[in-house]
Amino acid sequence: MNPIETFDLALPHGITLSCRACGPADAPVIVLLHGFPEAAFVWDEVIVDLGTRWRCVAPNLRGYERSSAPAEVEAYRAKHLMQDIAALAAAVSPGKPLAALVAHDWGGAVAWNLAVQKPALMERLVIVNSPHPGTFLRELKTSEAQREASAYMNFLCRPDAEQLLAEDDYARLWPFLRSMNGAPWLDAATQQRYREVWGQGLTGPLNYYRASPMRPPTETDPGAMALDFPPEFVTVKDVPTLVIWGEGDTALPPGLVEGLEQFVPQLTLHRVPQATHWIVHEQPALIAELVATACR
């Protein structure tokens, strides 16, 4: 079994990403992106499994763990997040496309945009429970159920969200993880890993929500209702794409994958009925198997 390495990668534009990695240095590279309120460690079991054949690199996104955490909300807009991952890909796989870009939740939001705008960076895309911007916008505009399921986003945009989430040993954060199926995977050791990450700062993670208008409307903010973009601006034209979807995800219901082929012509959709949004924790061996099969 290959050990997990940790290192800090300084990017040319002044951002440093703390990374976890596994696998031979000369092997084809898979990059894995985490979501909220997670960190790169959530991929550990997956990268150890895949590390027998691929070089796997899981960065902490900007604002998380020991990665650079700019103070300005604007620094968390999509163009800056994409710049980070494009620069990381160039550094860890110089002169070659990634064997795969794998991404969950907020990492998926970055990965979808990269696949649309910079398809040459990757040979294939693997998305895990992260809505495509085309279907997410459609559902936020037309589905009251989706707006209700996404209402937490507006709470996370509050100026006092950091303080509220940190109170009483993160009493308001644990339900994000436990609200779906009780999170039996969230043992004491995993809880402590989350505490260590959250204790290094919540402002960066929350700024992802503050910087994006893709959220339900409120009385004072139109949110997604003010957005509109032509389908061709969000279509993944040149990248074979595997979407893995835990169907017990109550924040991102399965309706978000309906009509996905309109935006992803080379789509393979793998539904997992007995999984939730936290499928990376729940079924890491399945994720590794599906990624490996996609990369063969």
Spell out a b/e string for 143-154, using b for 16 or more CB atoms within 10 Å of the CB, else e: eeebbebbebbb
Q: Which member of 64, 170, 208, 209 is catalytic?
A: 209
277: annotated active-site residue: yes
CA–CA separation, 56 vs 58, rounded Å? Answer: 7
- Both structure tokens of 240: 């074979």
Residue in this structure with the two tokens 């980070």, named with its chain if needed: 84
Sequence-separated (6 or more) residues with CB below 8 Å from residue 151: 216
Residue 58 CB burial class (10 angstroms; 0-12, 13-18, ≥19) = buried
- For residues 114 and 85, the answer to whether their CB atoms sit within 8 Å is yes
Q: Which member of 49, 84, 105, 249 is catalytic?
A: 105
Sequence-separated (6 or more) residues with CB below 8 Å from residue 216: 140, 147, 148, 150, 151, 153, 154, 223, 224
CA–CA separation, 39 vs 80, rounded Å? Answer: 18
Q: Which member of 34, 104, 277, 281 is catalytic?
A: 277
Give me the long-range contacts of 176-184 (CB less than 8 A, separation at least 24): 176/37, 176/152, 177/37, 177/278, 179/250, 180/248, 180/249, 180/250, 180/251, 180/276, 180/277, 180/278, 181/248, 181/276, 181/282, 183/278, 183/281
In what helix (H) or strand (E) does residue 211 lie, and over which residues does it extend? helix 203-211
Residue in this structure with the two tokens 């620069």, named with its chain if needed: 87
CA–CA separation, 186 vs 178, rounded Å? Answer: 8
Q: Which residues are the active-site residues?
A: 105, 209, 277
